[in-house]
């Protein structure tokens, strides 16, 4: 088994934004000499997330709307006294900071409608995610 560590830079343009990174991660996967294994995609930021879901415009908007309903931006959170982004931290906790998935034949083994997303929750920002690839 071999292990590779890579990174991916992401620039966001909105406070809350779903960025499809499927193709970017598959390009990185092609740079290593592994045909199958496990890949982990980890956000190095506490106000962002990594998710897998369908890339459909209305569904992505539904997710944004649901996050706002569950964790409203302008509430009296204690953390807001420091930097006014407590909602982004709580949303990130709910969504999760990483995903691990298999790959075969140098391609992510996602379901038919699945895509991999970086979720910005406190943008716009320049972000970096860590990718660890293990396999043969």
Domain ranges of the chain: 2-108+121-135
Q: How far apart are CA 82 and CA 102, in angstroms?
A: 39
According to DSSP, the residues that pair with 117 across neighbouring strands are 20, 51
How far from each other are the two terminal CA atoms of the chain, in whole angstroms?
Answer: 5
pTM, whole model, 2 decimals?
0.95
Task: Quickly name the fold that domain 2-108+121-135 has.
Answer: Jelly Rolls (2.60.120)
The answer to whether residues 39 and 27 touch, using CB atoms and an 8 Å cutoff, is: no
pLDDT in tens, 14-23: 999 999 999 9
* Segment 82-133, tens digit of pLDDT: 999 999 999 999 999 999 999 999 899 999 999 999 999 999 999 999 999 9
């Amino acid at each position: 088994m071999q292990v590779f560590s890579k990174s991916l830079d992401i620039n966001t343009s909105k406070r809350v934004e779903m960025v499809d990174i499927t193709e970017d991660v598959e390009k990185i996967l092609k740079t290593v000499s592994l045909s199958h294994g496990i890949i982990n995609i980890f956000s190095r930021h506490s106000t962002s997330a990594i998710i897998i879901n369908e890339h459909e415009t209305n569904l992505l908007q539904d997710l944004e709307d649901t996050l706002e309903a569950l964790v409203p931006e302008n509430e009296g959170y204690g953390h807001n006294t420091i930097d006014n982004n407590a909602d982004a931290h709580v949303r990130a906790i709910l969504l999760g900071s990483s995903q691990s998935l298999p790959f075969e034949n140098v391609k992510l083994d996602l379901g038919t409608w699945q895509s991999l997303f970086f979720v910005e929750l406190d943008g716009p920002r320049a972000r970096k995610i860590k990718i660890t690839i293990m396999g043969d």
